[in-house]
Structure 1
Amino acid sequence: MNHDKIEGNWKQLKGKLKEQWGKLTDDDLDVIAGKREQLLGRIQERHGIVKAEADRQVSEFEARNPTFVFEKSQ
């Protein structure tokens, strides 16, 4: 996916992420910037859950928000 499109979608999605994972801060979201692995790490850290659970939650979030695609690690 085009990086500009990811960035534009990211700005729209920040509010939804804060609703889902309320312990994420604006600074966390700035660091994450649409990157899935960064999101997983911050969710684990802020919510005290294991990576598998964070991955499950993010996968469910992605299923509910199909127009948004996280940037995958290379």
Structure 2
Amino acid sequence: MNSDIILGRWKQWKGQVWQAWAEFSGSDCAWLTGSNDCLSGVLQEDYGREQEELSSVKRPH
């Protein structure tokens, strides 16, 4: 498993925690932080998946 996939999942989880805290505290800033973390986590995880796909495809010499 690619490190970008792991870091992306971590960012998504962290973003969900921020969003839960925002619901509890009513903080718009915390919600925005969580939303940004989730989005960057999804993008980083997708990037890691693409890297894995490309590395698994054998390139002709």
TM-score normalised to structure 2 length: 0.35
Name which structure has the greater RCO, CA cutoff 8 Å, separation 6+: 2
Please identify the structure whose Cα radius of gyration is greater. Answer: 2
Query: Going by fraction, where is helix more abundant, 1 or 2?
Result: 2
TM-score normalised to structure 1 length: 0.30
